[in-house]
Amino acid sequence: MRAIPIAWPILLLLMGPAIAEVLHQERSLYRNIFVIQNGDQRCMSFRYPGGLGRQSCKFLHDPDRLVFQYTRMMLSGLFLNPNPRRILIIGEGGGSMPSVLQNMRPKAQIDVVELDEAVDAVARRYFGLKPGANMQVHISDGRIFVKRMAERKSNYDLVILDAYEADYIPEHMLTREFLQEVKANMAPDGVIVANTFSNSALYDHESATYRDVFGPFFNLKQLNRIILGRNGGLKPDDLATAFKNAVLLDGEFRKRGASSRDLAGMLDAQSDWNPEARVLTDQYSPSNLLNALPGR
């Protein structure tokens, strides 16, 4: 897709103590896209360049190391299944998770779903995404993709949901119906990993919705909240399994800038939300309104 210049004549702008260079900017069918380099760090942003709203970042001299804590937390899906054969990732960004999982599990079949073909092009050109023989990028709305794939009995062992922006969640990918469609694509013992907000008026509703579809799940919380669960709910020995696998995975995680043991220590299966919260459905999903309210 041809890049369309944006009306902001910015080539250099001040970001803290360093000078950040805008390497690329375009307006796609869906959004403004910036690629910004600040020292050793290169980032993709969907808004006026700045700290908030960075969709993806990489360290140029250590590309295996994950920049964001939430991406490191999402690797926790391997605690429950360290060797997934089929992986679905909804939301590509700069391709951090697809690249890492392709590197860590080269034999796994990986499907990546991205709405915006311009985002995929930028991920390949500026962030080093190189899909191998076992990875395929699908340009599609995530919900449409899972609805169509459910008929094929995909049986994904690991599903990662990361199609969200810094302050926006597509409401059609928050509902019980959507999660049921995701579940229909999962193997009987498949693992679900979802990147969500840790402090939002959506928290109770979102938690109730995931619990309604997947049963009990683990939380990992810092600035983001990662939901980690299974098709059919957690097993009684899943916490012990997670700690056991964390020990075995520690070397691989440290290469990505994470401590698997520390991440395992963050796992929390307690319900910390209002049990009377209304489940989000296709008929009731006011996600943007709820997210605009003060946090819990």
The per-residue pLDDT for range 153-166, each reduced to its tens digit, is 789 999 999 987 75
Q: What is the count of structural domains for the chain?
A: 2
Residues 55 and 118 in one domain: no
**Single-letter code of the amino acid located at 55:** Q
170 and 217 assigned to the same domain: yes
pLDDT at 29 over 50: yes
Q: What is the structure's pLDDT at 296?
A: 36
Asked if residue 233 and residue 104 are part of one domain, the reply reads yes
Residue 168 in any domain: the answer is yes
Tokens of 115: 């709405």
Let me know whether 16 and 148 are in one domain: no
Catalytic residue among 120, 157, 162, 204: 162
- Between 19 and 234, the higher pLDDT residue: 234
27 with 73, same domain: the answer is no
Q: Looking at the structure, do residues 198 and 142 belong to the same domain, yes or no?
A: yes
**Does the annotation count 268 as an active-site position?**
no
**Domain shared by 32 and 142, yes or no:** no
More confident site: 258 or 165? 258
- Quote the percentage of the chain above a pLDDT of 70: 87
Q: What is the pTM of this model?
A: 0.89
> Quick check: is 1 in a domain?
no
Residue 248 confidence (pLDDT) above 70:
yes
Q: Please write the tens of the pLDDT for every residue from 201-212.
A: 889 999 999 999
The answer to the question of residue 3 being in a domain is: no
Same domain (yes/no): 145, 94: yes
Does some domain include residue 180?
A: yes
Is the residue at 5 inside a domain?
no
pLDDT confidence tier of residue 5, bands split at 50, 70 and 90: very low
The residue segments making up the domain with residue 238 are: 69-292
Q: Are residues 109 and 16 in the same domain?
A: no
Question: Do 46 and 125 sit in the same domain of this protein?
Answer: no
Q: Are 107 and 134 in contact (CB under 8 A)?
A: yes
- Which of 165-169, 194-198, 256-260 shows the highest mean pLDDT? 256-260
Which of these, 96, 70, 97, 72, lies nearest to 223 by C-alpha position? 70
Specify if 47 maps to a domain: yes
For residue 201, the domain's CATH number is: 3.40.50.150
Rounded to the nearest integer, the mean pLDDT of the chain is 88
Residues 97, 237, single domain; the answer is yes
- Last residue within a domain, chosen from 38, 59, 80: 59
d(CA 205, CA 193): 17
